Homo-oligomer: A and B are copies of this chain.
Amino acid sequence: MRQPAGRSARRSGGERKPREERWAELIEVATQVFYEKGYDGASLQDIADRLGMLKGSLYYYIQSKEDLLFDVISSVHKDGLAVIRARAGVEGPPLFRLRSVIVGHVEHTCRNLVPTAVFLHELSALPLERRVEVLGSEHAYQGVFRDLIESAQQAGDVRSDLDPRLAALSVLGSTNWVYRWFRPGGSFTPEQIGAELAELTIRGIATEQGLGTV
């Protein structure tokens, strides 16, 4: 996460809250406002109003509305990527790790519905340079899925006629889509959804040999 502007400056106001807490609150409110009104429809005034701050005071933390969007988007992306990279990096057959990556990704999405929606809907509002900074030039997220599918294919665990890029995009679609329909307390828990989407994916791509590894 980028440091808020002025983080090291002396506080001039009469606020009681530590700056880090104020910053976290600002990001949380900005996420909600971008979600409700869309990035273009949201103003710094809206965000200041909801925080009970003067709009001018926001410039103590940020230089522009775009800085807020960048932070919302890069935080949720970075956190999710850390989850799936950790699960992809353990010991074990690639399809076994792919199952764990899918479950972890679905659980992360279910726990972060609003920031995920802002990420997916508003990424294009960032200038190209900052988009690349978030995603990585190789689309890091997609790469984790594709690399596991490729490894499994090389081991004979995934059908040889399958294109690992298409398969990765299919899994990403199926799992990311959860942000649109998951409701806490609804018919399915994040764990159930993760397990079922992993099962569907693995049966879709695996050879007989591969099914024996998971």
Hey, which bits of chain A sit against chain B, CB under 8 A? 37-42, 121, 125, 162-163, 165-167, 169-178, 180-181, 187-188, 192-193, 196-197, 199-201, 203-205
A sample of 15 inter-chain contacts (CB < 8 A) reads A37-B40, A38-B39, A38-B41, A40-B40, A121-B121, A163-B196, A166-B193, A167-B196, A170-B196, A170-B197, A173-B174, A173-B178, A173-B180, A199-B204, A203-B203
With known contacts A204-B200, A204-B203, A204-B204, A172–B163 Cβ distance under 8 A:
no
Give chain A's interface secondary structure class: helix
Instruction: Give the residues in chain B near A181, CB-CB below 8 Å.
Output: 169
Instruction: Give the residues in chain B near A42, CB-CB below 8 Å.
Output: 40
Instruction: Give the residues in chain B near A172, CB-CB below 8 Å.
Output: 177
Give Cα A201–Cα B204 distance, bound, in whole angstroms. 6
Give Cα A42–Cα B39 distance, bound, in whole angstroms. 11
Chain B residue at minimum C-beta to C-beta distance from A163 = B196
Q: Which of B40, B166, B180 contacts A41 (CB 8 A)?
A: B40
| A71–chain B nearest beta-carbon distance, Å | 19
Q: Are B166 and A196 in contact (CB under 8 A)?
A: yes
| A35–chain B nearest beta-carbon distance, Å | 9
Instruction: Give the residues in chain B near A200, CB-CB below 8 Å.
Output: 167, 170, 201, 204-205
